[in-house]
Amino acid sequence: MGGICTACRLAERESCYGGTPIPVRSNRQWLFAKGVDGAVGPENFRWAESPVETPGEGQMLVRNLWLSFEPTQILSMAAAPEAGGYELGAPMPGLAASEVVESQLVPFRPGDLVYGFSRWEDYSVIDGTGYWGTMKIPTGISPRLAAGTLGITGLVAYFGVVEVGRPRPGETFVASAAAGGVGSVAVQVAKILGARTIGIAGGKEKVDWLRGEAGLDGAIDHRSEEVAKRLDELCPEGIDVYFDNVGGPLLDLALERLRPHGRVVLCGATSRYGRAGPPPGPQNYLQLIMVNGRMEGLLGKDFFDRFPEGMAALQSWLEAGKLHSKEDVVVSLEQAPAALARLFSGVNVGKQLLQISESPASS
């Protein structure tokens, strides 16, 4: 009697085993059920199960292993479909590290590990497009790292520091949300480049990690400390580079303390995500004129062609022990909505990930 072919075993789809069909396995998934008006909650999603789809020409079937969660997802959840928002009733989109099961998309083959846009479900049929194209995970990099520190989160931090902030040795580098996914990498990259690094975060656990494992020169707990006072104590000569992940009042405090030729990297504004109406502009923006400063926005897609360069640099620092990967891992697909909500409750420390499967089926 013949055995099960590799593609059929991976996909767990209808196939032949000695001429006997194997039933199609149900695909567990979260559907986007309701637009966001404020906080993310269970009412925004609906659990469903459906048959695993078959990829057509120019598509591939992937088994999702790790899901990545980004604060900016709430923006697409609040927008109408015609304005770039998510489609109601469809599987919830998200970044994932996945294994290719079947492929009619060159150059991907069954068994390849890939990183790119997928959905909150066990199996997804994708065409490799999105905010940027799906990429193969380089040999030697685990799906977990590919979805986290070596994925878009780490790459945005890397290029935001190296290409936009450009801290020089001895300069003072300050980051908000410094214990989050992007911030935790950004402050460490700045430290590796020789800058004095100060991180702003919320809660003792986060601040202890910044001062300890991350090795920062200082950390501020915005929940229990007066940020303005602590900035004056830790940055008596001002700030050379401010890496902004939250916007709001913290951005104004940094602008007020910007040194001559200081730089502000605008990476995110989590303090405003999910709120109605346009965010207010910074009050202290005139300081940019007074110090010949520069404030520049950052989009990860602008560096897509250089992702391999960034991944190589980050991986070398990880292997050398200069960079530490901090992740907040939730296990099981059922917990995906709760994992996303952790980004906005302030409880997650590091990059927010969710593990669907322990390992690739082909391993």
Least confident of 219-233, 236-250, 276-290, 325-339: 276-290
| CA distance linking residue 226 with residue 253, whole number of Å | 11
Query: CA nearest 69: which of 93, 89, 88?
Result: 93
pLDDT at site 359: 66
> Does the pLDDT of residue 19 top 60, yes or no?
no
pLDDT at site 274: 64
Under CATH, which architecture does the 152-302 domain have? 3-Layer(aba) Sandwich (3.40)
Q: Which residue has the tokens 């928002």?
A: 85
Span 152-160, average pLDDT: 97
> Does the pLDDT of residue 8 top 80, yes or no?
no
| CA distance linking residue 209 with residue 274, whole number of Å | 28
> Does the pLDDT of residue 358 top 60, yes or no?
yes
pTM over 0.95: no
pLDDT at site 360: 67
Q: How confident is the model at residue 15 (pLDDT cuts 50, 70, 90)?
A: very low
Q: How confident is the model at residue 14 (pLDDT cuts 50, 70, 90)?
A: very low
**47 φ/ψ angles, rounded to the nearest 5 degrees:** -80, 140
Q: What is the mean pLDDT of the chain?
A: 91
pLDDT at site 281: 81
The answer to whether the CB of 233 falls within 8 A of the CB of 220 is no
Listed in order, the ranges of the chain carrying CATH 3.90.180.10 are 6-148+325-355
| CA distance linking residue 241 with residue 187, whole number of Å | 11
Q: How confident is the model at residue 346 (pLDDT cuts 50, 70, 90)?
A: confident
Sheet holding 172-175, edge to edge: 218-221, 196-201, 172-175, 239-244, 258-266, 294-297
Span 83-100, average pLDDT: 95
pLDDT at site 25: 75
pLDDT at site 3: 39
Span 219-230, average pLDDT: 98
> Does the pLDDT of residue 179 top 50, yes or no?
yes
**220 φ/ψ angles, rounded to the nearest 5 degrees:** -125, 130
Span 85-104, average pLDDT: 97
Residue type, 128: G
- Percent pLDDT > 90 in the chain is 79
CA distances from 78 to 48, 91, 169, 181, 266 (A): 22, 16, 41, 22, 21
| CA distance linking residue 94 with residue 154, whole number of Å | 17
> Does the pLDDT of residue 363 top 90, yes or no?
no
Torsion of CA 44, 121, 156, 329, to 10 degrees: 90
Residue type, 309: E
Span 184-194, average pLDDT: 98
pLDDT at site 167: 98
pLDDT at site 2: 38
pLDDT at site 361: 59
Neighbours of 330 (CB within 10 A): 19
Listed in order, the ranges of the chain carrying CATH 3.40.50.720 are 152-302
Written as six digits, the tokens of 102 are: 């079947």
Q: Which residues pair with 27 in a beta bridge?
A: 50
Q: Which CATH superfamily is domain 6-148+325-355 in?
A: Medium-chain alcohol dehydrogenases, catalytic domain (3.90.180.10)
CA distances from 27 to 111, 257, 266 (A): 19, 53, 39
H-run or E-run covering 294: strand 294-297
Written as six digits, the tokens of 91 are: 């599987």
Written as six digits, the tokens of 284 are: 């202290």
Query: CA nearest 122: which of 50, 27, 54, 8?
Result: 27
**300: exposed, middle or buried (Cβ count in 10 Å: 0-12, 13-18, 19+):** buried
Least confident of 66-75, 168-177, 270-279: 270-279
Q: Supply the DSSP string of 310-339, one letter for each residue.
A: HHHHHHHHHHHTSS---EEEEESGGGHHHH
User: Which residue blocks in the chain are alpha helix, DSSP H?
Assistant: 6-11, 73-78, 143-147, 152-159, 181-192, 204-211, 227-234, 249-256, 287-290, 307-320, 336-345
> Does the pLDDT of residue 327 top 70, yes or no?
yes
pLDDT at site 84: 86
Span 286-303, average pLDDT: 95
Neighbours of 158 (CB within 10 A): 27
